Structure 1
């Protein structure tokens, strides 16, 4: 290529090329803008809960069979979404008697309501690695609002399909009386603390 005979024009072209290259370098690549779809579930995570307002009467349990989907938009966090479906029959308590009792009609009524479902309405970033997920939980045919506070660790954005993309921990609360589970509320308490710990993968 011949040299430009106009030094000023050559400098302008050089400057334009450098600035243009710098702008392109700052722009995110197309894959970064794409919605990332991640899976979570009981095979790689836990949903635990505890009931009771005091250490004396506090009861703990978990759900073994559940699945969920995370749609993550890094460029627009509010466009992200979370959905979780729990098989209520997979509930496990400290002993068989407790497990049977919570499957009964006074509590989860698992034969009539085999699923508990959470659907997000909005997602807000609260910190560098923390999020607030505002949504609704449906239990025993009743839908009530619920907030999950999420922390993200060990993020691996270049992880191949089938391997861990990140680890998530979510914490929330519900009042069981709002879902018709009022038995022993005066003795045990109303508040149910829910904790989700899971790997998310593509």
Structure 2
């Protein structure tokens, strides 16, 4: 009788552990953006001749995925002063203004933000993010299209990371970025490559 009771209790404990594991696996997963492998970039027409490309070298934030509920959230901050177009004098002009055009106006608006609380899924893979971008103090909706979402084990971190590329097209004039219209196009293509790791990972953010 005692042996049977012990087996019964063991079975209840095992069932409880399985239930807890199931609940844990269904919980939203939060990932911290790895600034060493995340680069928001852009391309914009220059004089009707070519595309000027640039990126921002400092990005922080988090992404939360709930694949079972087909939901997700994110909060990302981009350091505007980390602008890098490959030419320092041009970066200064874009950040501080030139020919009477403020452009990024980094002294007043040193950061831009993207926040979202809605994701679109195809199966268990996010394919779009419906959020809002704040640039130059102006907040407007921006839908990001997500491509190439995948997760894999990083042997240097000993952890599973996830990454993707997000793209969008917007008009700088809608955010109050005016000036140099005859030199620089209004439409801007965004290309954001992101890599992120679980929030509990102690090595998150290291350049590996």
- How high is the TM-score relative to the length of structure 1? 0.77
Does residue 124 (structure 1) correspond to residue 116 (structure 2)? The answer is: no
User: What's the secondary structure of 2:193's corresponding residue?
Assistant: strand
**Partner of 2:68 in structure 1?**
75
Post-superposition Cα deviations, 1:91-143, rounded to whole Å, max 9, x if no partner, equal 01131221011102411111110110001141111466342101110011111
Contact 1:53 1:191 (8 Å CA) reproduced: no
User: In structure 1, how many angstroms separate the alpha carbons of the residues matched to 2:184 and 2:123?
Assistant: 35
> Is contact 2:76–2:115 with CA below 8 Å preserved after alignment?
yes
> Is 1:66 aligned to residue 59 of structure 2?
yes
Report which of the two has the higher share of strand: 2
Shift, 1:162, TM fit: 6.8
Structure 2 CA distance for aligned equivalents of residues 179 and 158 of structure 1:
38
Counterparts in 2 of 1:160 and 1:122: CA distance versus 1, 3 Å: farther
Higher relative contact order (CA 8 A, sep 6+): 2
Indicate conservation of the 8 Å contact 2:68/2:124, yes or no.
no
C-alpha deviations, 1:38-79, integer Å up to 9, x for none?
01142122111111188723111000011121111111123x
> Does residue 187 in structure 1 map to residue 193 in structure 2?
no
Q: How does 1:27-176 map to 2 (within 5 A)?
A: 29-52=22-45, 56-78=49-71, 80-105=72-97, 106-126=102-122, 129-156=125-152, 163-176=159-172
* Partner Cα separation in structure 2 for residue 53 and residue 30 of structure 1: 52
8 Å CA contact 2:119–2:126 kept in 1: the answer is no
Instruction: Give the number of aligned pairs.
Output: 177
- Greater Cα radius of gyration, structure 1 or 2: 1
Distance 1:31 1:54, change over 3 A: farther
TM-align CA RMSD: 2.8
Q: CA deviation at 1:171?
A: 0.7
